Each structure stands twice: as structure tokens, then as C-alpha cells.
Structure 1
Amino acid sequence: MLSRRRSPVVASLQLPPVTTLLFLWVLSCGHATANTDIANMTALQKHVSFFDRNKDGIITPIETFEGFVAIGCDVAYSRDSASSVHAALGPITSPVDAPLPHINIHINLIHRAMHGSDTGALDAKGSCRFVPQKFEEIFIKHAKVRPDALTSSEVEEMILANRDPLDRRSWLAPVKEWGLTYKLASDKDGFLHKDSVRGIYDGSVFVKLEEKRSLQIEI
């Protein structure tokens, strides 16, 4: 069950009316839990499970907000992103018997949120499993300056190369996902390393970013 105690960051927000109602509903009502089998999670489930802060199988808007803040995003970006992500994915991943409104993301149904114009490193045919061959192709095709890392222009090239001309609605998601990862995880020389890219698919890069931010705060 989601804790009803607000974090200092959440409590200090000045939110638009719709977003405020959304967050207050989650805080006041809580939600049911879902079974979570971490050992047998797909790569996509692991990718999003970082944002399941209490590890109950269901991600609330508050948890997504706190997850974005934890990896280094500012409050405004985290608030707006949490609202838009849940508005898009909540209805898609909610079972029919979930309480209204369908704004929570259910990890066991996250495969419903798969989109086109991606790298193919996640199998889109229902399994959402990691595909090593497709992952290696990212660097074979696009890593020209260094074989084990991507520059900003190489990330943009990769995104453009993977666009599905028949699915224009899927073009924006990779731009947001890769843009944020590059901004937060690239090194001081502008390289997004292979291990960081690998960490996108299993969510481990988010854990590292949170640890890095925690050390910076302590310093």
C-alpha cells in the first residue's frame, strides 16, 4: 500500500489544478497491490520497475514523479512527465477491474505500452525480452567516434534511422527517452557509454543515476 506521508519535495509543489487533483486522489485512496516476480521479469518490466518505489507491482503518478527527481530531473520536468506518462500509459496498462480513474501503471501489463520506431533491442512480439544481437547493432551501425559509446549526434542518427515511416505517432517517444538518458547519463566528454545504454533496458542505469545524485547531495 502506498504510504500516505508526503515527501518534502511533493509537499512543496505548486501544481496546476488537474495535476493537483490527480496527485491528491492517489495519496488519499491508495491502490491495490499486484503480484511481482522480479526474477522472471521481462526487460521492459525491469526497465519501468525502478519507478515502482514501494515494489508492489503498481506505479502511481507520485512514484513516477519521485523516480524522476531521484535520477536528477528538476521538479517541474518530473511533475509534467509523471502526469503525461500516466495519462498515456495508465489506461493502457490497467486491467478492466482496476479502480477508476485508470492512472496507475501496472507492471505486469506494461507490454501493452510497447511502441514502434525503437531499436528492436526489446522483442516487440509479446515477450518484451532483451535481444542482444539488436543491442550490438546499435553500436555497429551508429558508434563511429568510439566503438563502445555514442555521441549526441550519433544518438540522433540512431533515432532517425529507426523511425517507422508508417507510424508517425511513435516518433516522439524515442526522442524523449533517449534524450533524457543522454542528458543524465553521458560523461563529461559527451559520450553515452555502452554499459549505460545497456542499463536503459533493464533499468539499472536509473539505479546508478539515483546513487550518483545521492552522493552529490551528501557532498
Structure 2
Amino acid sequence: MSSQLVTSIASVPITEARPVPTGLDSKLPHPGLPRVNKAVSAESPNGSPAHLAREDHSVIQQHVDFFDRDQDGVIWPWDTYIGFRRLGFGRIISTLAVPFIHGSFSYPSGTGLLPDPFMRIFVKNMHRCKHGSDSEVYDTEGRFVPEKFEELFSKYDRTNKGGLSWEDIQAMILGNMNIVDPVGWTAERLEWWVLYLLAADDNGIVSKEKIRGNYDGSLWYKIAEEVEAKGQARAAVQKAKWQ
């Protein structure tokens, strides 16, 4: 009996169209082992620095820490609105994001049986907010699974460009869809579309490193810094015009 590992067969074409990553053990120790507080990749085996991703939080908690402005473990609707504004979104999109996000995540992350009247999101329970039809990079406890992250690119970065295009993302969303899961379908689309709007480069590619930073939230801090710097530059130009 052959001991060769077989990951695709011609009689099941989808297994050849979406290959799994190989040789990860040489780049990353124990790639199938979920990391609780580090979003790691073959290129970033140590994850993000501690000032961008709190090491006392799980990766799914790190994903939303940016919106918890006072770091008290509670995200109010106003916090989400301000967070979206800091990321460069206008007032309309920032306002529309609040009822969708808090309407979806407030109750599952809550601390009791009754809905929270303030629609707050409790960071400590973010693992309950994991939805279906996703990439499974987060496990059900909110840990980060490196092997699943690498699968995003072995399966959908078909030209090995080091990131995902709009077309790649649509193919990935379709490939991850579970049956009879409209909530998951909607959430997955909106999350990736927002990421694309924020992080795609001039060639329409979201880099692998930015996608990794999306998972642990470190990307949000970097984007907010860029938006703030651009705002200060515009203000300086306007001030110079009036002098």
C-alpha cells in the first residue's frame, strides 16, 4: 500500500481546482495547530507586534479591539461609528454599518438571555459571533488556524500574485457557502467587500499580509494612521492657501 499523501484526484475536479497548501511544516511549525493570540503566516511566523494585537486577547477579539476605544471590553454603537470614520468611510456608510454590525453581534456576544437595550458588543464573547459559510480561519473558540489561512491562497490566488483580487474573493465566497445559510452568506460578503474597499491596491489586489492583518485587527490601526496622515496633509494645504 502506498504511503503517499493524496490531496486531489482527477475524478473529483474540484479537488484539483482548489489545491491545499503543501510544505507548510518547513515554513511554520505545526501549521494545523490553532493559535489563540497570534495570527501567523508563512511570511509572518511571529504574527503582529503586541502594540497592534493584544496578546491577552484571542485573535477574534483582536479583530474588533480597534473599535473598543477605551479598551473596557465593550463596544458601543457610537464606538463602531467612530471606528468606521477613522477608517475613512463617510457618514452614510458609517451610520449604516452600526445597525447591521450591532444587530448581528450584540445578542450573541451578550451576557444574559435578554437582548441588550443599548446593543453593545461584549468583546469577551466574540467567539460566539463566528458565522457559517466562512473560511474557518477562526475556529469556534476564536483561535487562528494558520493552515486554513494558507488555504485561502493555495485555493484562490491562482496566479500566485501574493494576494486576492476581486474575482478571487468572489470565487472564495462562493466556494465557502454552506447550504441554507443566508446569514453566513451575507456576513461573509459584506466583511470581504469592506476589506476590499479598504485594502485593495492600485492593481485591485488585497495583499496576503493585509488579509492577515484583517484577522487580528492590526490592519485597522495602520489604515487609521494613513487616513489621519492624509487628513493632516489636506488641512496643511488648506491652511497654506489661507495664509
Same fold (TM over 0.5): yes
Amino acid at match of 1:158: M
1:157 matches 2:171: yes
Query: Helix, strand or coil: the match of 1:150?
Result: strand
Deviation at 1:88, TM superposition (A): 2.1
Of 137-146 and 56-65, deviating more is 137-146
Q: What is the alpha-carbon distance in structure 1 between the residues aligned to residue 84 and residue 221 of structure 2?
A: 11
Superposed, 1:201-212 pairs within 5 Å as 201-212=215-226
Query: Helix, strand or coil: the match of 1:141?
Result: helix
Of 112-121 and 86-95, deviating more is 86-95
Q: Which residue of 2 aligns with 1:193?
A: 207
Amino acid at match of 1:46: Q
Q: What is the alpha-carbon distance in structure 1 between the residues aligned to residue 158 and residue 115 of structure 2?
A: 49
Amino acid at match of 2:173: I
Q: What is the alpha-carbon distance in structure 2 between the residues aligned to residue 168 and residue 79 of structure 1?
A: 23
Q: What is the alpha-carbon distance in structure 2 between the residues aligned to residue 100 and residue 109 of structure 1?
A: 14
Greater Rg, structure 1 or structure 2? 2
Among 127, 135, 138, the alignment partner of 1:119 is 135
| TM-score normalised by the chain length of structure 2 | 0.71
- Deviation by residue 1:46-83 (Cα, 9 ceiling, x = unmatched): 00111101111100000000001111111111011112
Q: What is the alpha-carbon distance in structure 2 between the residues aligned to residue 67 and residue 137 of structure 1?
A: 30
C-alpha contact (below 8 Å) 1:140/1:147 kept by paired residues = no
Q: What is the alpha-carbon distance in structure 1 between the residues aligned to residue 214 and residue 87 of structure 2?
A: 13
In structure 2, relative to structure 1, the CA distance for the partners of 1:100 and 1:178 (3 Å cut) is: closer
- Name which structure has the greater RCO, CA cutoff 8 Å, separation 6+: 2
Query: Helix, strand or coil: the match of 1:39?
Result: coil
Of 170-179 and 78-87, deviating more is 78-87
In structure 2, relative to structure 1, the CA distance for the partners of 1:189 and 1:41 (3 Å cut) is: same
Q: What is the alpha-carbon distance in structure 2 between the residues aligned to residue 171 and residue 42 of structure 1?
A: 24
Query: Helix, strand or coil: the match of 1:103?
Result: coil
C-alpha contact (below 8 Å) 2:177/2:185 kept by paired residues = yes
Superposed, 1:58-137 pairs within 5 Å as 58-96=74-112, 100-124=116-140, 127-137=141-151
Aligned residue pairs: how many?
A: 181
Which structure: greater helix fraction? 1
Deviation at 1:146, TM superposition (A): 3.2
Q: Which residue of 2 aligns with 1:11?
A: none
Q: What is the alpha-carbon distance in structure 1 between the residues aligned to residue 147 and residue 116 of structure 2?
A: 41
In structure 2, relative to structure 1, the CA distance for the partners of 1:167 and 1:99 (3 Å cut) is: closer
What is the RMSD of the two structures over their aligned residues, measured on CA atoms? 1.8
Deviation at 1:111, TM superposition (A): 1.2
1:216 matches 2:230: yes
C-alpha contact (below 8 Å) 2:110/2:116 kept by paired residues = no
C-alpha contact (below 8 Å) 1:91/1:102 kept by paired residues = no
Superposed, 1:14-93 pairs within 5 Å as 38-93=54-109
Q: What is the alpha-carbon distance in structure 2 between the residues aligned to residue 119 and residue 147 of structure 1?
A: 20
Deviation at 1:97, TM superposition (A): 8.4
Any runs of at least 4 consecutive aligned residues in structure 1 with deviations exceeding 6 A, and if so which?
A: none
